[in-house]
């Protein structure tokens, strides 16, 4: 059946290539293997924004969390302070491990196993990215499988149009440092780019026994492209891209109790001294682009990725869960003393080793033609994708003595988890843009066929003989229609609207007959907005509404659950809100005699997210109590504000970035907010208080090819609680300084 569907869809692509009865447009651009939005953000019928290279250069950030917060509609939950494993949500979707959005690098799915195990424990090194595209609303119906909230596309360093080399070095507080070098050239028929990137830190948290809490991440990127001559009648190119990434991080899931956070928010308990993440990632893609006809372009990409991560961490102490200890240190005083290294005891330590692979081939075609005053654009895409997550979790026993942990008993591989998750998918989309004068309509449809297979070998069969194998399969066929609309009043103003059906896969089929299989998460999504843009002012106001059926929750340890990874439904829910973005050069108000610019940008988001049914939750990030109708969905911040003010001259570029994150519920509820305090029990807390941060970035141009830069993170040294996950309270990185140099050769 799957092969038959592939043939049908390939036939549709072939049909679109032959469909050239109408008068073609004079030019057509090859579908880029990198850019989705490019310079089309203002004319797209759905919400689409880009953080360009100029903005990235201005901010001097290696932390994607800081950069994405400049875009309305984006939600972020901080975790380790460096943004290496960001928790990103779009328009109210779940933030945990960015599992509910479509993540791409250069237009290709980049999560280790986007279908079978979507939690993004690997996230591309942001320090090597040139720009970021964020697609929400009907503009992202082409990019699945997660189409309710939207898609984030990271743009890696492009091959330059002529020879260029770039060197960037920096060093700062806590031993934070970066070394980046790339060089590339564009020859007559052969182009290339090679890049090396390293970011590392000693860590800003302080272990009870004085150990290292930092990380070391290294990246290699290579691109080689062959292309025909510019004057060739049949223009085409063939591009090879390779990425290799490794990381060693002394990172933990374990946070702090409120009392300990109040005394020292940078503390780490002695029991987390062995917590360590080992990660490796390799990815290769081959892209062929061709313009067979004057108005037709065809882009084909084959890709293959391998990811391994083993996150070893403390799991329990003297048989008592960490959350129980932190929530009531008095009752569990003996276990707490072991956790803090003050007493001898036994520690359950778990290695969560997971191997992922993903591979696929995707084809995108674009055909343009014109009839009278009407412009037509037909977009057709097909992707065959398969991925797998191979999960072993192994428990070992350590003993604590005088703040030092020693291995007592090595566990047998897989004695906590031993399973394989497989997924195969065929996805396709057809999008038709029709434009007449200022009116543009964009109807489209997306199709997803997914086959899931879950193999649970049990914790006693580490050789996987199948003696205790439990398996389950599930197959889905999903059709998702959508319609986008835009109307330009003039060159400066337009309105947009859209409605589309969004979708999230339900995760692995359950082998538990009591719980049963989770249902597909679906939502009807609509938006209405107004845009205005001119030389010195840009503005956008959008309202959005998502009406869910079978909204999905998950039981992940990173979200406060048991770590089973199972999904469960919570019925109907509604998420709605407003997004506002403004950009204004304040110097344009006055007569500017000094060639100065004073750009101000503001991004504000209001989100109201509520359950619409009463149900008993299955655990995970929503807890295991009864949830009532109109309860607010946790971890969706109702108000976020980001503002940026820059002073720009020929030599200087100074940028001050200010962010406000409103009080955020961490439990489903609609009652009064209860914040952490000495008088409140840990289990009674239902919200984290509002907090704000401020960053400063300065660039100075010594000469055309040489720049000095400096950043100050958390300028006011705000020590608020920024998150309660994975396990208890976590701080932001304290005030830190960074100094660096950028040099270019061309």
Beta bridge partners of residue 444, listed in sequence order: 431, 482
Task: Give the residue, 623 or 25, on which the prediction is more confident.
Answer: 623
Q: Hey, what are 143's tokens? A: 């990019």
In whole angstroms, give the CA distance from residue 28 to residue 38.
Answer: 15
Q: What is the pLDDT of residue 317?
A: 97
Please, are residues 63 and 42 in contact by the beta-carbon 8 Å criterion? no
Report pLDDT digits (tens) over 64-85.
999 999 999 999 999 999 999 9
Question: Which residues neighbour 321 within 8 Å (Cβ) at sequence distance 6 or greater?
Answer: none
pLDDT at residue 28 greater than cutoff 70: no
Average pLDDT over residues 533-547: 94
Residue matched to tokens 């065809």: 298
d(CA 724, CA 666): 8
At 416, list the tokens.
């906590």
For residue 48, the model assigns a pLDDT of: 87
Joined tokens for residue 324 = 């129980």
What's residue 39's pLDDT?
58
Q: In the prediction, which pLDDT does 542 show?
A: 96
| pLDDT greater than 70 at residue 155 | yes
User: CA geometry: angle at 103 spanning 471 and 543, to 5°?
Assistant: 115
pLDDT number for residue 59? 94
Handedness of CA 78, 79, 81, 87 (dihedral sign): negative
Distance CA(624)–CA(736), nearest Å, equals: 39
Please give the Cα distance from 207 to 274 (Å, whole number): 11
The contacts of residue 658 (CB under 8 Å, 6+ apart) are 642, 643, 644, 692, 693, 694
Kindly tell me the burial class for residue 252, based on how many C-beta atoms sit within 10 Å of its own C-beta (0-12, 13-18, 19 or more). buried
The beta-strand segments (E) located in 143-214 are 150-156, 164-172, 177-186, 190-201, 206-207
Q: Distance between CA 610 and CA 341 in Å, rounded? A: 42
Distance CA 239, CA 184 (A): 14
Give the closest residue to 523 by CA, choosing from 554, 491, 499, 553: 499
Could you give the 3-state DSSP secondary structure of residue 435? Answer: strand
Alpha helices in 614-683 (DSSP H): none
Q: How far is it, in rounded angstroms, from Cα 384 to Cα 454?
A: 20
Predicted confidence band at 558 (pLDDT cuts at 50, 70, 90)?
low
C-alpha distances out from residue 564 to 266, 327, 510, 556, 623, Å:
30, 22, 11, 6, 14
Is a pLDDT exceeding 50 seen at residue 5?
no
Whether 156 shows a pLDDT value over 50: the answer reads: yes
Q: What is the dihedral of CA 632, 634, 636, 638, to 10 degrees?
A: 40
Of 185-194, 399-408, 557-566, 649-658, the range with the lowest mean pLDDT is 557-566
Reported as a single tens digit per residue, the pLDDT across 351-377 is 999 999 999 999 999 999 999 999 999
What are the φ/ψ torsions at residue 110 (nearest 5 degrees)? -120, -10
**The two structure tokens encoding residue 262:** 């109040």
* pLDDT digits 0-9 by tens, 212-271: 999 999 999 999 999 999 889 899 999 999 999 999 999 999 999 999 999 999 999 999
The per-residue pLDDT for range 657-678, each reduced to its tens digit, is 999 999 999 999 999 999 999 9
Q: What pLDDT does 186 receive?
A: 94
Give the helix, strand, coil percentages of the chain, each rounded to 5: 10, 55, 35
The two structure tokens encoding residue 692:
């704000």
Separation in Å, CA 134 to CA 144, 389, 679: 13, 27, 42
The lowest-confidence range among 148-152, 557-561, 697-701 is: 557-561
pLDDT in tens, 509-528: 988 766 677 889 999 999 99
User: Around Cβ 612, how many Cβ atoms within 10 Å?
Assistant: 16
- Model confidence at 280, in pLDDT bands (50, 70, 90)? very high
Mean pLDDT of 33-40: 57
Pairing between β-strand 102-105 and β-strand 150-156 as defined by DSSP bridges: parallel
According to DSSP, the residues that pair with 201 across neighbouring strands are 215
Q: Cα(373)–Cα(367) distance, rounded to whole angstroms?
A: 17
Distance separating alpha carbons of residues 746 and 742, to the nearest angstrom: 14
Mean pLDDT of all residues in 617-622: 75
Phi first, then psi, for residue 232 (nearest 5°) are -65, 140
**By percentage, how much of the chain surpasses pLDDT 70?**
92
CA 390 to each of CA 239, 245, 387: distance values in angstroms, whole numbers, following the listed order: 30, 19, 10
The residue among 589, 689, 682 whose CA lies nearest residue 260 is: 682
Which helix (H) or strand (E) covers residue 63, if one does? none
Reported as half-sphere exposure (CB side, CA atoms, 13 A), residue 390 has a value of: 10
Segment 692-717 mean pLDDT:
97
Looking at residue 514, the DSSP 8-state letter turns out to be T
| N-term to C-term CA, the chain | 54
Nearest to 486 by CA among 46, 72, 150, 139: 46
Comparing C-alpha atoms, which of 279, 303, 306, 408 is closest to residue 348? 408
13, pLDDT greater than 60: no
Up-side HSE of residue 606: CA atoms within 13 Å toward CB? 6
Residue 661 near residue 649 (C-beta atoms within 8 A): no
- Strand (E) positions, 457-569? 470-488, 493-504, 521-533, 537-549, 552-554, 567-569
Q: What is the pLDDT of residue 567?
A: 79
- Angstrom distances, CA of residue 362 to CA of 6, 542, 643: 12, 32, 38
Whether residue 703 has pLDDT greater than 90 = yes
For residue 726, say if its preceding peptide bond is cis, omega within 30 degrees of 0: yes
360 to 5, 145, 201, 424: CA distances (angstroms): 16, 14, 35, 10
CB 379 within 8 A of CB 317: no
**Cα angle: 544, vertex 572, 426; to 5 degrees:** 75
pLDDT at 33 over 70: no
More confident residue, 15 or 334: 334
Q: What is the pLDDT confidence band of residue 569, given thresholds at 50, 70 and 90?
A: confident
pLDDT tens string 289-299:
999 998 999 99
Q: Which CATH class is domain 2-745?
A: mainly beta
Q: For 645-657, what is the mean pLDDT?
A: 95
Average pLDDT of the chain, as a whole number: 91
How many whole angstroms separate alpha carbon 531 and alpha carbon 540? 4
Could you tell me the CA-to-CA distances from 635 to 82, 221, 273, 622, 684 in Å, in that order?
A: 20, 35, 29, 9, 16
Please answer whether residues 592 and 696 qualify as being in contact, where contact means their C-beta atoms are separated by less than 8 angstroms: no
- Alpha-carbon separation of residue 250 from 79, 119, 127, 153, 338 (angstroms): 14, 20, 20, 28, 20
Percent of the chain with pLDDT over 90: 83
The alpha carbon torsion through 356, 110, 224, 282 (nearest 10 deg) reads -20
What does the chain come to in residues?
Answer: 746
40 φ, ψ to 5°?
-100, 5
CA distances from 550 to 98, 198, 222, 245, 553 (A): 19, 43, 43, 37, 9
Residue 529 backbone class (left: φ over 0; alpha: ψ -120 to 50; beta: rest): beta
CA distance 389 to 394: 16
The mean per-residue pLDDT over the stretch 108-114 comes to 97
φ, ψ (nearest 5 deg) of residue 230? -60, -35
Query: Residue 20: how many CB atoms within 10 A of its CB?
Result: 14
């Amino acid at each position: 059946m799957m092969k038959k569907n592939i043939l049908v869809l390939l036939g549709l692509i072939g049909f679109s290539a032959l469909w050239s009865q109408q008068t073609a447009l004079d030019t057509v651009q090859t579908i880029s293997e990198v850019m989705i939005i490019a310079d089309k953000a203002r004319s797209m019928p759905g919400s689409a924004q880009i953080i360009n290279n100029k903005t990235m250069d201005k901010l001097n950030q290696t932390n994607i969390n800081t950069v994405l917060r400049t875009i309305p509609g984006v939600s972020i939950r901080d975790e380790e302070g460096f943004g290496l494993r960001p928790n990103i949500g779009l328009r109210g979707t779940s933030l945990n491990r960015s599992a509910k959005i479509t993540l791409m690098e250069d237009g290709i799915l980049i999560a280790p196993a986007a279908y079978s195990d979507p939690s993004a424990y690997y996230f591309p090194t942001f320090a090597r990215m040139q720009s970021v595209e964020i697609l929400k609303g009907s503009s992202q119906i082409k990019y699945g499988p997660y189409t309710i909230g939207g898609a984030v596309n990271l743009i890696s360093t492009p091959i330059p149009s002529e020879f260029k080399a770039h060197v960037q070095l920096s060093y700062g507080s806590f031993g934070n440092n970066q070394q980046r070098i790339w060089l590339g050239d564009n020859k007559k028929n052969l182009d290339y780019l090679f890049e090396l990137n390293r970011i590392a830190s000693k860590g800003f948290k302080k272990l009870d026994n004085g150990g290292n809490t930092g990380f070391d991440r290294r990246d290699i990127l290579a691109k080689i492209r062959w292309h025909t001559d510019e004057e060739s009648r049949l223009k085409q190119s063939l591009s090879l891209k390779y990425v290799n990434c490794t990381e060693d991080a002394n990172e933990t899931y374990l946070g702090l109790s409120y009392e300990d956070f109040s005394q020292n928010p940078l503390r780490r308990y002695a029991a987390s001294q062995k917590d360590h993440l080992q990660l490796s990632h390799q990815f290769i893609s081959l892209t062929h682009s061709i313009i067979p006809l004057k108005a037709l372009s065809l882009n084909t990409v084959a890709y293959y990725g391998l990811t391994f991560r083993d996150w070893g961490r403390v799991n329990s102490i003297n048989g008592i869960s960490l959350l129980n200890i932190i929530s009531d240190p008095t009752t569990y005083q003996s276990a707490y003393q072991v956790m803090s290294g003050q007493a001898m005891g036994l520690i359950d330590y778990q290695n969560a080793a997971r191997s992922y692979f993903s591979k696929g081939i995707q084809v995108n075609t674009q055909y343009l033609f014109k009839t009278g005053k009407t412009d037509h654009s037909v977009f057709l895409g097909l992707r065959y994708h398969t991925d797998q997550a191979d999960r072993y979790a192994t428990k070992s026993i350590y003993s604590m003595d005088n703040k030092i942990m020693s291995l007592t008993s090595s566990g047998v591989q897989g004695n906590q988890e031993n399973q394989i998750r497989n997924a195969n998918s065929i996805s396709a989309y057809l999008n038709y843009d029709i434009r007449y004068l200022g009116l543009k309509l964009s109807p489209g449809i997306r199709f997803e066929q997914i086959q899931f297979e879950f193999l649970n070998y049990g914790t006693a069969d580490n050789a996987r003989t199948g003696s205790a194998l439990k398996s389950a399969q599930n197959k889905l066929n999903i059709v998702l229609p959508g319609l986008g609309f835009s109307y330009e009043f003039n060159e400066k103003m337009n309105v947009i609207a859209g409605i589309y059906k969004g979708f999230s896969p339900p995760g692995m089929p359950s082998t538990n007959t009591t719980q049963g299989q989770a249902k597909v998460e679906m939502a009807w999504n609509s938006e209405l907005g107004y845009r205005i843009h001119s030389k010195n002012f840009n503005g956008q106001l959008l309202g959005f509404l998502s009406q869910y059926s079978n909204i999905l929750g998950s039981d992940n340890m990173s979200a406060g659950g048991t770590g089973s990874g199972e999904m469960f439904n919570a019925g109907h829910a509604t998420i709605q809100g407003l997004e506002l973005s403004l950009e204004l050069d304040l110097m344009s108000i006055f007569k500017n005699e000094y060639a100065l610019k004073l750009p101000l940008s503001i991004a504000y988001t209001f989100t109201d997210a509520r359950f619409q049914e009463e149900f008993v939750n299955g655990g995970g990030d929503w807890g295991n109590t009864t949830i009532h109708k109109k309860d607010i969905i946790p971890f969706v911040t109702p108000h976020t504000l980001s503002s940026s003010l820059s002073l720009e001259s020929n030599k200087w570029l100074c940028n001050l970035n200010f962010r406000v994150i409103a009080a955020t519920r961490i439990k489903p509820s609609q009652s009064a907010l209860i914040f952490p305090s000495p008088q409140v029990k840990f289990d009674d807390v239902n919200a984290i208080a509002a907090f704000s941060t401020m960053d400063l970035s300065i660039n100075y141009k010594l000469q055309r090819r040489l720049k000095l830069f400096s950043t100050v993170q958390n300028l006011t040294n705000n020590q608020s609680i920024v998150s309660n996950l994975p396990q208890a309270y976590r701080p932001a990185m304290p005030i830190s300084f960074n100094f660096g140099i950028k040099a270019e050769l061309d």
